[in-house]
Amino acid sequence: MKRIGIIGVGEIGRAIVTGLRHGGDEFPEVFLSPRGARTATELSACYEGVQVCADNQEVVDRSELVIIAVRREGRHDALAGVRVDDGKIVVNVMAGVGNDDLRQTLATGAPLVRAIPLPAIRERRSVTVVYPAHSEVNSLFERPGRGPPRRGRGRFQRLLRADGDADHPLLVPRHAHVVGRRPRHRLRGRGPLRSRPLPGRRSRAER
């Protein structure tokens, strides 16, 4: 994928650009929306091949793959009037906004993939849940994550529930893929998303 667009350049948008920039020798062209203008301007000044577009339609027109990263409450305003050809690939990273909702907003037949990247993707030490599996999207998140796709199961269920997406079957193990590099430091429990014990509580080993 040589041309990537990002609509909504907040924390996650910045993390994706930074992770891509440090993910290897070949860096795709990145087109940023003017939403989050300060961050977009900083990124374009730091990295060659990162450009700020005049509006969101230009982001879509110049990109092969478009990442939608605006806030849930601002999505209708940000995407109003934006036309997405069926030949594009759309990646939805908005918290609490399902694919059906976004497809209705965009009125497009383009492939639409749900992904949940974490801020640590900027340091290439996180994993990303992707649904449904898509070769180009898997490849995109493998780059900053430095790892092959893996099948997701129960250890990611709480993350998906917390994200607020109840309108798609992400909890079906064979459909959800986990892409990227697991953190070196694993927290208490069998999976990387297990939380630490609360202060004052003893672990099972201490009881």
**Average pLDDT estimate for 161-190:** 45
- Is residue 175 over pLDDT 80? no
pTM over 0.75: no
Stretch among 26-35, 49-58, 69-78, 101-110 having the lowest mean pLDDT? 26-35
Which one is predicted more confidently, 4 or 156?
Answer: 4
Confidence of residue 83 (pLDDT cuts 50, 70, 90): very high
According to the model, what pLDDT value does residue 185 have?
A: 42
How far does CA 59 lie from the centroid of its chain? Answer: 17
How far does CA 52 lie from the centroid of its chain? Answer: 19
Report the CATH number that the domain containing residue 160 is assigned in CATH: 3.40.50.720
**Average pLDDT estimate for 136-140:** 88
Whole domain around residue 30: which residue ranges? 3-206
- Beta carbons of 131 and 175 less than 8 angstroms apart: yes
According to the model, what pLDDT value does residue 36 have?
A: 80
CA of 126: how far to CAs of 121, 177, 179, 198, in Å? 5, 14, 9, 23
Encode burial over 138-147: b for 16+ CB neighbours within 10 A, e otherwise: bebbbbbbeb
Number of compact structural domains in the chain: 1
- Is residue 56 over pLDDT 60? yes
